[in-house]
Structures are given as structure tokens and as C-alpha cells.
Chains A and B, each alone.
Chain A
Amino acid sequence: MSGIGPVEPGEDTYQHPAAPAAGATPSRVRHVVPARHRRKAVLAAVATLATGVGVYAVNAPEPPPAPPPPWPSQVVGFAYAGASPDDGHAGAFTFGVSISTEPGRRVTVDAITQPSAALAVSTEPSAPFTVPAGKSRDVTVTVYVLDCGEVPRNSGLPFLEVTLRNERAVQKQSRILGGGYPEDLGAAIGRACADPAP
């Protein structure tokens, strides 16, 4: 006897039909359950199911709340896109910045500044502007030299101060551009201050 097999029948309370006559074609035996028992069985099953579902609903862990969107600084990138060939402004340095966002994460740039009191910044488009989700936006930045006596001539780590906003938070953060930005800015300041605008 195998340990694995159908559960063997035991005693029950049903009335069994008479055994088929010898030689007759074997047929599947149909147990007729009295209506009273059927109702009880159905009621028991329904009660079991309903109570079980109820208990499960009470005990099941609540689905975790949707995670908050990431902080704006975590989903945005800034890339130096090079100096503009002719900025058209005496004593100024114009360059491009490509601002990109991750898919599904829109970010608004509320402000772009820089930390030195001897410099000022304007942007096109002017802030605030929004970078759509999963897209990049080209921004033109112009840095004006206000005070040649105070301006850092060859800073190794100049950066932009940006204020970023999304549905999660407003964050102020430094974006330290690479890709030749320090050298280009230093050279432009050198030119502006060697030959200051009249």
C-alpha cells in the first residue's frame, strides 16, 4: 500500500444505492444527499468562507502606503554644455547647462545663483521653470563680473546654487559642474577683468 493515494472512504450517514447487478456496466456511483444535509453543508461552507475572509481581512497586513516621491535633488542632473561662442555681453560669460530628470519625475527649478558676491547670474529661461519628467532642458546661463577686485580668478571648484522643487520638497543645493566649466569660467573672468568694460 502506498502511503500516497486517495483518502479511503469511511462511514457516513448517507444512504447508498443498491450495488449494481453482477455483469452490469460499471458506472460512477452518484450519492444522493438529502436536501436538509445539503443546506447545512452549504451553510457551513458559506459561513466558513465568510468568516475566513473576515478574519483574513482583519489580520492581513495593510498594503504598504505608496512611497513618497524622491527628493528633487535625487532625480535631477546638471551637465555643463560648454561656453557660448559669442556671449554678446562685455564682462560676462555665457554658457549652456543641460538639466535632465529621471523618467516619471518632474522637477521645477526655482532659482539658479552662484555664491560669490563679486559675480551675478541670469538664466534663459528665467527661473522658475520646469523640466518635464524624463526629459532634459537646455538653459543658457550668463555670469556677470561685478567686482574685479574681489572676484576669484581661478577657482578650482566653482559651482551653481540651485533651488529645486517637486511635490516632495524644496531643496537648495550646490551643483559643481565639471566638463571644463572651472577653466572656461576662469578664462572668461580673466578676460573680463584684464579688459574691463567701459
Chain B
Amino acid sequence: MRHRSLFIVTTAVTVGALTLSACGSRDDSSEGGGGGKTTVVIGLDAPLTGDLSALGQGIKNSADLAVKTANKNNEVEGVTFKLESLDDVAQAATGQQNATKLVGNQDVMGVVGPLNSDVGQAMQKVFANDNLVQVSPANTNPEMTQGKDWQTGKKVRGFDTYFRTATTDAIQGPYAAQFMFNEKKLKNVYVIDDKKTYGAGLAATFSTEFKKLGGKVVGTDHINPDDKDFSSVASKVAQTKADFVYYGGEYPAGAPLASQIKNAGAKIPTVGGDALFSAEYIKLGKKNSEGDFASSVGAPLETLDTAKKFIADYSAGGYDGAFEAYGGYSYDSTWAIIQAVKAVVEKNDGKLPSDVKDARKQITEAMQDVKFDGVTGTVGFDEYGDTINKQLSLYEVKGGKHVPVKTGVFEG
């Protein structure tokens, strides 16, 4: 009898312990399975192949993480999100075709992307015609939100459907100019660009400010970004008294250009914008990339507490490749669309409007009021669709890494 009682006690204790233990480590990993749920497709456009694919894949993976997180957390009751990613190979025409394709898919309620400003410009009107909201994590050309006369102070928003989480070249170029002139005390620059919307625009904003400060542009040149041999331009730079080179363009051409300039005898730094802020730049330029500078949108992620979970989740997600310069912005762009969908669902008694055009229109309108603490800081949009989070940073290549050397906040 005594043994039986002890057995009962032991069993009861064991069962209780297991039950309590199980509660403490319960893994609720149910993914949105769809049962009776509405599927909302978030489109994504980025260069997923080609020279800029490192940045594009970082954008895609980070958007994927946001979608999975939303489904796992049941962020929007009754809605399962799905990501549809299209490759624009960094070509405006392909981006425009992708935009048409996404508009034609009745389940698409918002689009993340693209990377390149010229691609974005080709997509804007297609989305605007159908009221489909677009949030770019990486377009930095000021014209896209503020119109072509933005420099004269006449800012006009062209597309109510266009938003972005990245800040613009209107700040990025001049900030680099201030840094090189005032802090590095370098007064003579050779300016090169790749003739693209982003590169030429960025080089222009840099040059304008550098000259205003009293700096001298000792030479200018344009390159073809598809080339790999820049020896003639490099020789021209080496023959001037340039203290540094400013390059408006992307890393696939920027890295070999900067390297060949050093090989030509000009041991001077190359400075550029966010499209040089990639581990690929260092990989391509190798030791010659040491001492080069890149500005980038946003504060260094390691100084943002909101980024820590994203970094950990991205790592746990097992994605191929790093999240790169725009991963955090892509996550925030995707999350902004999710929040806009949520606002519309809540406003319409738990469902999206059945009429696709009406649903898209309401989601676009809701985007203007979206505000949340995202990976990159506070996410929200001003009257032009620009981010209200206007931080930027300058990085120097030191020891094979981009190391932050200066950060700033635009308070205007």
C-alpha cells in the first residue's frame, strides 16, 4: 500500500513537472496556414541577378522575413501574406514590365522596391494609374518624391502611391562634401559618374555643395557602368592634383574604378554614396578599397536597438547572403505595407474591401498615416512620401570592413 502511494505521488509530481516544463518551452510556431484566410500578395521588385544582386537579394530576403514574421504573429487577423518577387536586373524597362505584371495580379496590394532610382521612375506611373502603393527601401533620387524642380524649393509630389523608407541624395551628397572639405581638409576633387539617374544626381548634389564650400572640382568624367577597364579615366585622374575622387554610381563599376585609379599612381580615396556601401565593394576592390568612403542612408544598424531583433532573426532565417545596405529598410517597407493593410482591414470590419481597386486605393491612403518603430528607427512618411527618419552615416573602409566614422540627422 505504501509503495502504491509513493508511486501515485511520484507519478503526480512527474506529470505536474512535465506539464509545467512544457508550458515554459512551448514553441508556437504555427505559420499562417490559410484556413479561411484572405491571401494578400506583396510584390517585390529588385535586381535579383546580375552585378547588383547582392543588394537585391538582401532586399528580397528581408522582405521575406517581414512577411513570415507577420504570418507567424498573425499580425493582421484573417490575412495571410505572400511575397511575389520579380527580378528587374537593374533595368528600367524590365522594372516597368514587372510593375505591369504586379498591377495585373489582383491579389497584389502593395509593392516593395525597387533598388535603382531609374527603375523606380519607370515604375511610378504604372502603379499610380492603378492606385497600387509602392514603398522603396533604396531609391534616393529627390525628384521621385519632390518633383524635378526640388532644388529651387518648388517641391511637387508627383505620385500619391509612391513612398520610400530611404532618405534622399539631397542630403547624402552635400553631407559627404562637408565631411571631405571641413573634416578631411581636402579641397580638390575629381568627380566621375555613371550617367544614370542615381549616379549623376548624386554627383551633382555633391559637386554643388563642395563648390559652395570653396572646394575645387579639378576634373569630371563619365563612365559606362558595364565596363571593367577604366584605365584611361584612371590615368587622367592621376595626372591632376585631385585630393580625392567622388564617384556617383554603384559598386560593380565603382570598386574597379577606385582600384584602377590607385594602381595608376593616384593614392587618393574614392568617396561615393550608398551604392558603394556594400561588402561587395570591398570584395571587388580588395586592399585598394582601404581608406575609401561611402555615405549611406540611416544610422548604423548596430546603434539601433530596434535592429537587434532583425539582425538575429535574419541570421536565424538561414538566408543566403547578407541583408546588405537596404535589408533593414526593406523589412520596414514591407512592414509598412502590412500595417497599411491592417488599418484597412480594421476599418472595414475585419476584411479587405472586395473590390480590388477600392482595396488598393484605401491601402494607399492608409500608408500616409502609417507610423511605427521599425528596424531603422521611426517609420513614417511626410507629405511627399519621403521618410520622416532622415538619418545618414559616413563609413570608411578600415581593415576590410565599412566602419562608421560620422552620423547625422536632417532636422528639416
Assess whether A153 is in contact with B406, with CB atoms less than 8 Å apart: no
Interfacial chain B residues near A171, Cβ < 8 Å: 303, 407
Report Cα–Cα, A117/B214, bound state, in Å. Answer: 12
Interfacial chain A residues near B33, Cβ < 8 Å: none
Contacts of A13-70 to chain B: CB distance below 8 A: 40, 43-44, 47-49, 51-52, 55-56, 59-61, 67-68, 70
B63 to chain A, nearest CB (A): 24
- A37's nearest neighbour on chain B, judged by CB, is B5
Assess whether B5 is in contact with A44, with CB atoms less than 8 Å apart: yes
Q: Interface size (A, Cβ < 8 Å)?
A: 43
CB within 8 Å for A55 and B5 given contacts A174-B175, A176-B171: no
User: For the complex, is B16 an interface residue (Cβ under 8 Å from A)?
Assistant: yes
Partner of A74, one of B17, B175, B377: B377
User: For the complex, is A77 an interface residue (Cβ under 8 Å from B)?
Assistant: yes
Question: B171-190, CB under 8 A of A: which get 1 and which 0?
Answer: 10011011100110000000
Report Cα–Cα, A74/B407, bound state, in Å. Answer: 12
Interfacial chain A residues near B214, Cβ < 8 Å: 150, 152
B25 to chain A, nearest CB (A): 7
User: For the complex, is B93 an interface residue (Cβ under 8 Å from A)?
Assistant: no
Number of A-B contacts (CB under 8 A): 116
B1 to chain A, nearest CB (A): 9
Report Cα–Cα, A117/B181, bound state, in Å. Answer: 10
Of listed A59, A80, A153, A176, residue having the most chain B CB within 10 A? A176
- B12's nearest neighbour on chain A, judged by CB, is A48
Assess whether B377 is in contact with A178, with CB atoms less than 8 Å apart: no
User: For the complex, is A126 an interface residue (Cβ under 8 Å from B)?
Assistant: no
Interfacial chain A residues near B347, Cβ < 8 Å: none
User: For the complex, is B409 an interface residue (Cβ under 8 Å from A)?
Assistant: yes
Assess whether B182 is in contact with A116, with CB atoms less than 8 Å apart: yes
Assess whether B20 is in contact with A176, with CB atoms less than 8 Å apart: no
CB within 8 Å for A173 and B407 given contacts A44-B5, A48-B12, A153-B212: yes
Partner of A48, one of B16, B179, B208, B213: B16
Assess whether A178 is in contact with B411, with CB atoms less than 8 Å apart: yes
Of listed A155, A157, A177, residue having the most chain B CB within 10 A? A157
User: For the complex, is B403 an interface residue (Cβ under 8 Å from A)?
Assistant: no
Interfacial chain B residues near A159, Cβ < 8 Å: 178, 408
Partner of A155, one of B212, B305, B409, B410: B212
Report Cα–Cα, A91/B226, bound state, in Å. Answer: 52
Assess whether A152 is in contact with B407, with CB atoms less than 8 Å apart: no
- A52's nearest neighbour on chain B, judged by CB, is B16
- A153's nearest neighbour on chain B, judged by CB, is B212
CB within 8 Å for A73 and B299 given contacts A156-B209, A157-B171, A176-B408: yes
B169 to chain A, nearest CB (A): 12
User: For the complex, is A3 an interface residue (Cβ under 8 Å from B)?
Assistant: no
Interfacial chain B residues near A74, Cβ < 8 Å: 299, 303-305, 377
Interfacial chain A residues near B16, Cβ < 8 Å: 48-49, 51-52, 55
Q: List 9 A-B contacts (CB under 8 A).
A: A40-B5, A52-B19, A70-B305, A79-B411, A155-B178, A157-B175, A176-B171, A176-B408, A178-B410
Interface pairs A-B: 10 shortest CB-CB: A178-B412, A174-B408, A115-B182, A157-B174, A55-B17, A52-B16, A56-B20, A152-B213, A44-B9, A51-B13
Query: Could you list which residues of chain A lie within 8 angstroms of chain B, going by C-beta atoms?
Result: 40, 43-44, 47-49, 51-52, 55-56, 59-61, 67-68, 70-71, 73-74, 77-80, 115-117, 150, 152-159, 171, 173-179
Contacts A115-B178, A115-B179, A171-B303 known; 4 new A-B pairs at CB < 8 A:
A44-B12, A47-B13, A48-B16, A73-B299
